């Protein structure tokens, strides 16, 4: 028993030292690449994170225990070699996760969970994210972790002779009996969860304590148990609170469209944060074309997106469906097929429809959603000359917009087309000379927005010069906001502040709608104006209704937030606490949770 216990303790100690060391690697990389600064409080992260490291070590020890128990009957001398190489394989996998985590944190602002794994079905398209900086951060983190791990591996996996006996057999039974305790983080009432790693007012320090490998395992398991994660109150009570938040059964009395059958063009703009609207960067106007376009039509300066990724934003705009904090309905084909959409509704009025995108629609299961949303035709990168593939993701915005315009000119009315741009997506690779010099991420983002603005302005100019403009409604809306300018926290409401504007010759009068607005209200607003039923858009309001309630909901990973006319509130699903409030929001926490509960109830039932 003594030899086997020493052997198992060595394996556990190896993993604990490894995870503590790589936590330091993560800290130094985030400091080195400007994501954080050193603070003495950081040293407590390994102490706080010890339980998570220990839990992960015991996850890894489970198959070793089982192997040793079985080998009591066979007594093979090759088992130790098998265990050694098994742990070496685990070490390699962990180093890859740690490398990916170190890079993703730069942009996402939270430790790696199961989310990136959902993109592995299209590795080629996922690779289009890559920049030299991303590869550099990943390589440094993974290689350094592997070097540290291999050194510790050689030290702790020195040969220990295992003597098999009845005492060692019962010793392993005892190990197996206590195995579950460190796995669940102790003998307390609640099992280990990421919220227990929060010990500081600084979010980064809390994130530093989290073990990314453990977090991938944990969130993958929780993903399977999503049905039981969002129960806060009886459904009837939740519905009562929900009814006080939004007004779903009213519609605008005034006609803001000239036509009962306008042609419609929805342009969903990649990362078009409203934080750059009417702003200058280093004394140069960021979006001169769009700022001019805002002068005509209907401008929504206080509009917000529901989520923090394109797959959530597209669903929100076209289906009026809220984002989920730890999932995306687009990833679930059966569920996404059941969603309503403005395209399906307009098809009942004989509208033609095309979806335009310069990238690969297989990414994030988007193609299945686009087809099920009712589009009759899809144009993606495969419909462009490969010679035009001059962007990481596919073709640039000016090429995409020009192709869409050429087809719009000849499309039979009525039509509803949708364009999804991509040039302002990381790595911000755009075909123009930089207006702002610098290779930092914020400067590259600003340059990409400036280019996208220029391309969008050219599209609007072309449309205005064509006969189609007179009966055209153009919806310009960001799919989600972004961290820049200012490198905002992942839950900051400003990160969800998006560009939203209606323009076109079909609009009756120009106006500015200053009240809070959400991208998930667009479909209901348009369909109501055309007297098309909208009962299935259960989470949307009519932006022009006199009974419109100024309320915005958004989801980030892992939490939710809301904004109303009195303030804002952000809630963490990790810590089960309010992260911060501003002002005196009338939307109390129980009301926000009632909204979340009904969203997830609908999600689960689809």
pLDDT tens digits, 503-521 = 999 999 999 999 999 999 9
pLDDT at 115: 77
Distance between CA atoms of residues 164 and 4, nearest Å: 9
Query: Can you list the positions of beta strands (E) in 376-506?
Result: 377-379, 415-420, 472-478, 497-498, 500-503
- For residue 79, with 0-12 CB atoms within 10 Å meaning exposed, 13-18 middle and 19 or more buried, which class applies? middle
Q: How many CB atoms lie within 10 A of CB 532?
A: 15
Beta-strand (E) ranges in 383-448?
415-420
Q: Which residues pair with 502 in a beta bridge?
A: 298, 475
Residue 604: closest CA among 115, 231, 194, 217 = 231
Mean pLDDT value of segment 82-89: 92
Q: Note whether 483 and 531 are same-domain residues.
A: yes
Dist. CA 424–CA 179, nearest whole Å = 49
pLDDT of residue 358: 93
| 502 and 569 both lie in a single domain | no
Q: Which residue has the tokens 């769009």?
A: 290
pLDDT higher at 42 or 473: 473
Residue 498 reports pLDDT greater than 70:
yes
Whether residues 349 and 477 share a domain: the answer is: yes
Residue 1: pLDDT above 50?
A: no
CB 605 within 8 A of CB 334: no
- 530 and 561 co-located in one domain: no
Q: How far is CA 343 from CA 195, 252, 346, 474, in A?
A: 41, 21, 5, 15
pLDDT at 388: 82
CA 358 to chain centre: 20
> Are 540 and 557 within one domain?
no
Structure confidence at residue 77 (pLDDT): 74
Lowest mean pLDDT among 201-210, 392-401, 527-536: 201-210
Q: Has residue 204 been placed in a domain? A: yes
Q: What pLDDT does residue 111 have? A: 86
Give a yes or no: residue 242 inside a domain: no
pLDDT over 90 (residue 339): yes
Q: What pLDDT sits at residue 157? A: 82
pLDDT category at 447 given cuts 50, 70, 90 is: very high
Q: In whole angstroms, what is the distance from residue 475 CA to residue 343 CA? A: 14
Instruction: Report the C-alpha gap between 560 and 564 in whole angstroms.
Output: 14
pLDDT given at position 160: 61
End of a domain among 163, 197, 224?
224
562/80 Cα distance (integer angstroms) = 55
For the stretch 568-577, pLDDT in tens is 999 998 888 9
Phi-psi group of 320: left, alpha or beta (phi > 0 → left; psi -120 to 50 → alpha; rest → beta): left
Tell me which residue range forms the domain holding 131: 2-224
Element (H, E) at 568: strand 567-572
Tell me the pTM. Answer: 0.78
Tell me the pLDDT tens digit for each residue of 141-185. 999 999 999 999 999 887 666 666 677 777 778 887 888 888 888
- Show the tokens assigned to 46: 């390994």
Q: 377 forms bridges with which residues in the sheet?
A: 354
CA atoms within 13 A on the CB side of 563: 19
Find the mean pLDDT for residues 28-44. Answer: 83
CA distance 363 to 381: 12
pLDDT for position 122: 63
User: What is the mean pLDDT of the segment spanning 344-350?
Assistant: 96
- Whether pLDDT at 89 is above 60: yes
pLDDT in tens, 261-312: 999 999 999 999 999 999 999 999 999 999 999 999 999 999 999 999 999 9
**Same structural domain, 335 and 452:** yes
**Would you state the torsion angle of the CA atoms of residues 428, 429, 431, 436, taken in this order, to the nearest 10 degrees?**
50
> Within this chain, do residues 283 and 217 fall inside the same structural domain, yes or no?
no
Q: What is the DSSP secondary-structure string of 478-506?
A: ES---STTTT--TT-GGGGEE-EEEESTT
Cα–Cα distance measured from residue 511 to residue 271, given in angstroms and rounded to the nearest whole number: 24
Q: Is 271 helix (H, G, I), strand (E, B) or coil?
A: coil
Give the C-alpha separation, 186 to 184, whole Å: 6
Q: How far apart are CA 507 and CA 472, in angstroms?
A: 8
The position carrying tokens 């390589």 is 139
Domain end among 511, 532, 548: 548
- For residue 595, what pLDDT band results from cuts at 50, 70 and 90? very high
Query: pLDDT at position 569, please?
Result: 96
CB atoms within 10 A of CB 34: 12
Q: Assess contact for 474 and 267: CB atoms under 8 A.
A: yes
422: closest CA among 356, 516, 517? 356
Are 63 and 184 contained in the same domain? yes
Are the beta carbons of 270 and 359 closer than 8 angstroms?
no
Least confident of 166-180, 237-251, 412-426: 166-180
**What mean pLDDT comes out for the span 411-427?**
93
Contact 294, 274 (CB under 8 A): no
Residue 493 resides in a domain: yes
- Do 130 and 427 form a contact (C-beta atoms < 8 A)? yes
Distance between CA atoms of residues 332 and 448, nearest Å: 31
Asked if residue 570 and residue 544 are part of one domain, the reply reads no
Is pLDDT above 80 for 543? Answer: yes
- Count of alpha carbons within 13 angstroms of residue 586, beta-carbon side: 12
Residue 163 has a pLDDT of: 66
108 and 215: one domain? yes
What mean pLDDT do residues 243-249 have?
Answer: 90
Which of 198, 224, 250 terminates a domain? The answer is 224
474 forms beta bridges with 265, 503
Q: How many domains does the chain have?
A: 3
349: in domain: yes
Res 197: pLDDT: 81
Task: Tell how far CA 233 is from the center of its chain.
Answer: 27
Residue 407 has pLDDT above 60, yes or no: yes
Considering only 90-94, 97-101, 176-180, which range has the smallest mean pLDDT? Answer: 176-180
Q: Could you tell me if residue 241 is inside a domain?
A: no
Q: How far apart are CA 522 and CA 231, in angstroms?
A: 29
Dihedral angle sign, alpha carbons of residues 282, 305, 205, 9: negative
Q: Are 347 and 354 in contact (CB under 8 A)?
A: no
Which of 94-103, 112-121, 201-210, 422-431 tops mean pLDDT? 94-103
Record the tokens describing residue 512, joined without a space: 């500015």
- CA nearest neighbour of 424 among 310, 328, 519, 320: 310
User: What percent of the chain shows pLDDT beyond 70?
Assistant: 93
Residue 511 located in a structural domain: yes
Reduced to 3 states, what is the DSSP secondary structure of residue 352? strand
- For 48-65, letters b (16+ CB in 10 Å) and e give bbebbbbbbbbbbbeebb
- Evaluate whether 439 touches 482 at the Cβ level (below 8 Å): no
Q: pLDDT band at 228, cuts 50/70/90?
A: low
Is there a domain that residue 29 lies in? yes
Residue owning tokens 């302002």: 424
Mark out the alpha helices in 75-178 (DSSP H runs).
79-108, 123-126, 132-156, 166-178
In a domain, 238, yes or no: no
Beta-carbon neighbour count of residue 334 at 10 Å? 9
Q: Is 186 left (phi over 0), alpha (psi -120 to 50) or beta?
A: left
pLDDT at 332 over 80: no
**Does 486 share its domain with 514?**
yes
Mean predicted lDDT score pLDDT of the chain: 89
pLDDT confidence of 126, banded at 50, 70, 90?
low
Same-domain pairing of 484 and 555: no
Paired tokens of 135: 């590869």
* Percent of the chain with pLDDT strictly greater than 90: 62
Antiparallel, parallel or unpaired: β 298-299 and 280-281: unpaired
Buried b or exposed e, range 306-331, using 16+ CB within 10 angstroms:
bbbbbbbbbbbbbbbbbbbbbbbbbb
Q: How far apart are CA 463 and CA 545, in angstroms?
A: 29
């Amino acid at each position: 028993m003594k030899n086997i216990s020493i052997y198992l303790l060595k394996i556990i100690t190896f993993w604990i030292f490894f995870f503590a060391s790589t936590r330091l690697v993560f800290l130094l990389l985030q400091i080195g690449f400007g994501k954080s600064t050193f603070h003495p409080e950081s040293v407590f992260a390994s102490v706080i994170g010890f339980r998570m490291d220990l839990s992960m070590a015991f996850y890894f020890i489970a198959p070793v225990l089982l192997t040793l128990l079985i080998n009591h009957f066979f007594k093979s001398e090759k088992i130790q070699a098998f265990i050694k190489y098994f742990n070496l394989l685990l070490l390699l996998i962990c180093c890859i996760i740690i490398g990916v985590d170190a890079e993703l944190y730069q942009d996402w602002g939270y430790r790696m969970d199961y989310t990136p794994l959902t993109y592995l079905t299209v590795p080629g398209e996922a690779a289009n994210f890559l920049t030299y900086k991303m590869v550099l951060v990943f390589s440094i983190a993974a290689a350094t972790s592997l070097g540290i791990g291999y050194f510790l591996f050689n030290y702790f996996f020195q040969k220990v002779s295992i003597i098999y006996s009845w005492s060692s057999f019962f010793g392993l039974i005892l190990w197996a009996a206590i195995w579950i305790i460190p796995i669940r983080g102790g003998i307390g009432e609640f099992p280990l969860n990421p919220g227990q790693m929060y010990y500081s007012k600084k979010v980064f320090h809390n994130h530093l304590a989290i073990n990314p490998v453990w977090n991938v395992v944990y969130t993958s398991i929780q993903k399977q148990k999503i049905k039981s994660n969002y129960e806060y109150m009886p459904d009837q009570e939740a519905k009562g609170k929900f009814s006080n938040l939004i007004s779903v059964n009213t519609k605008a009395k005034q006609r803001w469209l000239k036509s009962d059958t306008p042609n419609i063009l929805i342009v969903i703009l990649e990362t078009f944060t409203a934080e750059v609207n009417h702003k200058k960067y280093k004394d140069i106007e960021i979006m001169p074309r769009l700022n001019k376009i805002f002068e005509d039509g209907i401008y929504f300066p206080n509009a917000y997106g529901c989520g923090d990724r394109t797959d959530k934003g597209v669903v929100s705009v076209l289906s009026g469906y809220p984002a989920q904090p730890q999932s995306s309905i687009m990833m679930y084909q059966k569920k996404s097929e059941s969603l309503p959409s403005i395209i399906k509704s307009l098809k009942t009025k004989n509208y033609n429809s095309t979806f335009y995108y310069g990238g690969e629609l297989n990414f994030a299961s988007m193609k299945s959603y686009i087809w099920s949303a009712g589009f009759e035709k899809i144009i993606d990168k495969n419909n462009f000359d490969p010679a035009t593939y001059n962007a990481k993701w596919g073709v640039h915005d000016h090429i995409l917009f020009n192709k869409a315009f050429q087809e719009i000119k000849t499309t039979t009315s009525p039509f509803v087309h949708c364009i999804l741009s991509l040039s302002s997506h990381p790595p911000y690779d755009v075909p123009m000379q930089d207006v702002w010099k610098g290779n930092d991420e914020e400067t590259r983002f600003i340059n990409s927005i400036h280019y996208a603005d220029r391309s969008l302005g050219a599209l609007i100019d072309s449309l205005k010069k064509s006969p189609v403009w007179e009966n055209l409604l153009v919806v310009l809306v960001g799919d989600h906001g972004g961290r820049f300018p200012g490198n905002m926290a992942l839950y900051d409401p400003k990160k969800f502040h998006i560009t939203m504007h209606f323009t076109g010759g079909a609009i009756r009068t120009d106006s500015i709608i200053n009240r809070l607005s959400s991208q998930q209200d667009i479909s209901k607003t348009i369909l109501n104006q055309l007297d098309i039923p909208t009962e299935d858009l259960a989470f949307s309001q009519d932006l022009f209704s006199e009974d419109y309630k100024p309320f915005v909901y958004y989801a980030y990973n892992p939490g939710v937030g809301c904004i109303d006319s009195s303030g804002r509130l952000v809630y963490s699903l990790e810590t089960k606490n309010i992260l911060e409030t501003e002002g005196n929001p009338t939307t109390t926490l129980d009301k926000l949770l009632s909204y979340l509960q009904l969203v997830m109830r609908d999600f689960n039932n689809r």
